[in-house]
């Protein structure tokens, strides 16, 4: 076989970070990017620049590092997304536009012509600004083939340098992927990339099939992390390309495990202890007239796809293990194989699929071998959505980002919040918690969640409730007399706690400092020193709660202030820093006091 070089497009820092509960600090993103560059990754999707200020900070750190890899930003078909990418100094944009009828009609409410026009206009805008453009069709594998070809050709005519075919909900099998890539490759003269999700445990097999059918670039993540059941795993794809197909990459295979360990440390998603036939079955079937079984191991992450291929070729029985447990990298997974046969091939088994999650959990409890959160079908993230685009799609129509309903396997859908959350997901979670908020308050809550995510904090429902109560309990901006601009504190075992506060009072900026018996006391005294107007406002009660366990728990501070007429003002502050939460609570209470004076 002639050698073929495959480009590696790693999306650990973007699609991988969309794993529910994962929030990377800018410095962690930089270290991971440096490791990916060191092992030879060609293209690093450093994030989605439009997500938040912290995301842009992390991406700028990466682009300023002068790495050998091409640095890319994910972009929707929106000019402001591309502007944010330009601001970060990236080399390229991954322009992702939905092309399936389901997404176009139910999520975007746009026609095919409108989609093509938007896509080419945004591609042209990025190209005009000197960016390389990778032109992606989201949900390509469920799109009309003729339209898909028209869509890609329109992008190529506009000047895009690469195209990408996305199996967004991971519901194609290797032979279908091969057929689609072969069909499109006939008329496309720019490199084609494959982006495969692992909802049925076949992302690696599908990626390899795409390469054999003409793909020259593969999208992967370290340890296969990503939204729901994750993406094709970098380490499994890389080793399979090298061992089975003799394809060249620029990867240093000896450093893959070290990179995987760093990803495990920063994301908190453990490397599974068991981590990474067709023609043969056909030949044997010709010679025997009794049922044939297939028994596949998962050393390259291909056990499920190999088992299904054997069934297609004539096998009538498959050997599987719950959760894919077994020697070395394990066996074909019961839940993945059964649901692939059931949902993608319409082949029935005697398995009661609605009991799959309970069975998986039982084995996990008995053996102590944890089920990875991004395990297809039964993992805790298999039907969990965080990214705003995905949550919006699922709310409009669950099929946009789910290959099957969670109830089929005894699972349930979860919408979580983090740095990638959008207004719709925040609004949905507030409805679930039976909390009403105005549109402006939802904007403020969303911004606060993104701030926390930028600092690496995973947001819980308890965090959301506390943040919401704090924001809903504050006055509208136009009614606030005091605005906190800055608060700092210095403390230590041999240092007197000292705080500096800068604020605006009715448009006048004031700066002051004070010492105290502790950092909170210093912060509150610094605030009071700036405002003779509150000399007779007494702090009657101060209460601090840690909202959740862990060292990154949010501080929830409640203060009760009393004026000279014995009127009480109760206010909250919720921050990741106890001093900031305390000063914020005081400012909120002071604003209530001045608002009441205005009314009098």
CA angle, residues 450, 372, 36, in degrees to nearest 5: 65
Q: What is the DSSP letter of 92?
A: E
| Residues in the chain, pLDDT under 70 | 1-3, 272-288, 386-399, 401, 403, 419, 455-462, 473-476, 535, 547-552, 598-600
Torsional class of 268: left (φ above 0), alpha (ψ -120 to 50), beta (otherwise)? left
CA angle, residues 267, 271, 273, in degrees to nearest 5: 155
Residue 48's SS3 state is coil
Q: Are 156 and 133 in contact (CB under 8 A)?
A: no
Q: Can you tell me the distance from the alpha carbon of 294 to that of 282, in angstroms, rounded to the nearest whole number?
A: 12
What's the pLDDT score for residue 430? 82
1-58 per-position pLDDT tens digit: 346 789 999 999 999 888 877 888 899 999 999 999 999 999 999 999 998 888 999 9
Beta-bridge partners for 557: 544, 573
Q: Are 526 and 501 in contact (CB under 8 A)?
A: yes
What's the residue count for the chain? 600
Q: Can you tell me the distance from the alpha carbon of 555 to that of 171, in angstroms, rounded to the nearest whole number?
A: 43
Q: Can you tell me the distance from the alpha carbon of 595 to that of 486, in angstroms, rounded to the nearest whole number?
A: 22
- Write down the CATH number for the domain with range 7-267: 3.20.20.70
What's the pLDDT score for residue 1? 37
Residue 76's SS3 state is coil
Q: Do domains 7-267 and 477-599 have the same CATH topology?
A: no
- Write the burial class of residue 5 (CB in 10 Å: 0-12 exposed, 13-18 middle, 19+ buried): exposed
Q: Is the dihedral of CA 232, 236, 239, 241 positive or negative?
A: negative
The residues, any chain, with a CB within 8 Å of residue 163's CB and separated by 6 or more, are 134, 135, 136, 137, 152, 155, 156, 188, 190, 191, 192, 193
262-305 per-position pLDDT tens digit: 999 888 888 766 554 555 555 666 666 778 888 888 888 888 88
Token pair belonging to 551:
């060292």
Task: Tally Cβ neighbours within 10 Å of residue 486.
Answer: 10
Whether the model clears a pTM of 0.75, i.e. scores above it, the answer is no
CA distances in angstroms from 409 to 131, 338, 378, 379, 437, listed in the order given? 44, 10, 8, 11, 35
Q: Which CATH superfamily is domain 477-599 in?
A: Alpha-isopropylmalate synthase LeuA, regulatory domain (3.30.160.270)
β-pairing, 132-138 vs 384-385, is: unpaired
Domain residue limits, the chain:
7-267, 278-367, 477-599
Token pair belonging to 403:
């290959």
Strand positions, DSSP E, 103-262: 132-138, 162-167, 192-196, 217-220
What's the pLDDT score for residue 425? 77
What's the pLDDT score for residue 2? 47
Strand positions, DSSP E, 236-356: 293-295, 317-319
Q: Is the dihedral of CA 63, 248, 127, 148 positive or negative?
A: negative
Q: Which residue has the tokens 């994030």?
A: 47
Q: Please report how the helices 334-344 and 356-367 are oriented relative to each other, as an axis angle in degrees rounded to 10.
A: 170
């Amino acid at each position: 076989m002639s050698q073929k070089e495959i480009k590696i497009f790693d999306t650990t820092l973007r699609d991988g970070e969309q794993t529910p509960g994962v929030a990377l600090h800018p410095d962690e993103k930089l270290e991971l990017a440096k490791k990916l560059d060191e092992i030879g990754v060609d293209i690093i999707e450093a994030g989605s620049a439009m997500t938040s200020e912290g995301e842009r900070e992390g991406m700028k750190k990466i682009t300023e590092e002068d790495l050998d890899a091409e640095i890319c930003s994910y972009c929707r078909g929106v000019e402001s997304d591309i502007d944010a990418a330009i601001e970060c100094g990236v080399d390229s944009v991954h322009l992702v536009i939905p092309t399936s009828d389901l997404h176009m009609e139910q999520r975007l409410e746009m026609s095919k012509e409108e989609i093509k026009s938007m896509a080419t206009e945004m591609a042209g805008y990025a190209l005009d600004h000197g960016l390389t453009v990778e032109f992606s069709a989201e949900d390509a594998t469920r799109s009309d083939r003729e339209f898909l070809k028209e869509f890609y050709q329109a992008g190529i005519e506009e000047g895009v340098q690469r195209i990408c075919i996305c199996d967004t909900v991971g519901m194609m099998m290797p032979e279908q992927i091969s057929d689609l890539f072969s069909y499109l490759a006939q008329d496309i003269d720019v490199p084609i990339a494959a982006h495969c999700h692992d909802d049925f445990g076949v992302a690696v097999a599908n990626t390899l099939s795409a390469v054999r059918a003409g793909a020259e670039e593969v999208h992967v993540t370290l340890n296969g992390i990503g939204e729901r059941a994750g993406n094709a795993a970098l380490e499994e794809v890389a080793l399979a390309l090298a061992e089975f197909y003799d394809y060249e990459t620029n990867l240093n295979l000896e450093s893959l495990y070290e990179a995987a360990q760093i990803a495990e440390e920063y994301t908190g998603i453990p490397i599974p202890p068991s981590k990474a036939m067709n023609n043969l079955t056909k030949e044997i079937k010709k010679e025997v007239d009794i049922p044939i079984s297939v028994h596949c191991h998962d050393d390259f992450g291909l056990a499920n796809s190999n088992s299904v291929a054997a069934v297609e070729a004539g096998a009538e029985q498959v050997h599987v293990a719950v959760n894919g447990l077994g020697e070395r990298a394990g066996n074909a997974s019961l839940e993945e194989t059964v649901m692939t046969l059931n949902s993608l091939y319409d082949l029935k088994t005697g398995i009661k699929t609605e009991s799959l999650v309970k069975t998986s959990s039982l084995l996990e409890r008995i053996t102590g071998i944890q089920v990875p959160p991004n395990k297809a079908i039964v993992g805790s993230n298999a039907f969990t959505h965080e990214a705003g685009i995905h949550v919006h799609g699922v709310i409009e129509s669950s099929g946009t980002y789910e290959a099957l309903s969670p109830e089929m396997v005894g699972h349930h859908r979860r919408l979580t919040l983090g740095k990638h959350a959008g207004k719709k997901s925040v609004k949905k979670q507030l409805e679930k918690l039976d909390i009403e908020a105005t549109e402006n308050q939802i904007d403020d809550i969303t911004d606060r969640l993104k701030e926390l995510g930028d600092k690496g904090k995973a947001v819980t429902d308890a965090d959301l409730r506390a943040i919401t109560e704090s924001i809903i309990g504050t006055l509208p901006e136009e009614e606030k007399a005091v605005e906190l601009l800055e608060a700092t504190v210095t403390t230590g075992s041999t240092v007197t706690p000292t705080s500096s506060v800068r604020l605006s009072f009715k448009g006048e900026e004031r700066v002051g400092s004070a010492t105290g018996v502790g950092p909170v006391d210093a912060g509150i005294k610094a605030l009071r020193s700036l405002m003779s107007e509150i000399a007779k406002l007494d702090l009657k009660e101060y209460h601090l709660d840690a909202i959740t366990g862990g060292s990154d728990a949010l501080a929830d501070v409640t203060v009760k202030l009393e004026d000279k007429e014995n009127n009480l003002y109760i206010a909250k502050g919720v921050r990741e820093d106890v001093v900031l939460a305390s000063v914020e609570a005081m400012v909120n209470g002071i604003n209530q006091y001045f608002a009441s004076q205005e009314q009098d």
